[in-house]
Amino acid sequence: MLQKLFLIVFVFMITACVSEPQKTVAKPEAIQCPEQRSPLCTREYLPVCATRDTGIRCITAPCPSSEEKTYGNACSACSDPKVISYRSGACEQDVDKKPK
């Protein structure tokens, strides 16, 4: 009886240690900013990760011609003339910087 109990506990411990495969999370699709950009925006907080043109043009690589920056909402992102597109949610590098 004790051996069966030991075997059950041992099997339970082994199966509990098996990690599940990591799931890849797809990034939301980028949304292009409209040609007519609003200079006035509401102050709601629905963070977006915007892709900005850095203005850097070079011949050799690597050359970061764009960067990602978190904005408070889509309107405020598109009010920046350097923003090309945005996707919902904060940028990964900004999420990592949050205090814990």
pLDDT of residue 62: 79
Cα(10)–Cα(16) distance, integer angstroms: 10
90 near 70, Cβ under 8 Å? yes
Instruction: Tell me how many degrees the CA angle 25-26-30 measures, rounded to the nearest 5.
Output: 145
Using pLDDT thresholds of 50, 70 and 90, give the confidence band for residue 25. Answer: low
What is the tens place of the pLDDT at every residue in 27-85? Answer: 678 999 999 988 899 999 999 999 999 888 887 777 888 999 999 999 999 999 999 99
| CB neighbour list of residue 44: distance below 8 Å, 6 or more residues apart | 72, 73
pTM for the predicted model, two decimal places: 0.63
Is residue 95 within a helix (H) or strand (E), and if so which, with residue range?
helix 92-96
Amino acid at 88: S
Q: What is the mean pLDDT of residues 80-99?
A: 84
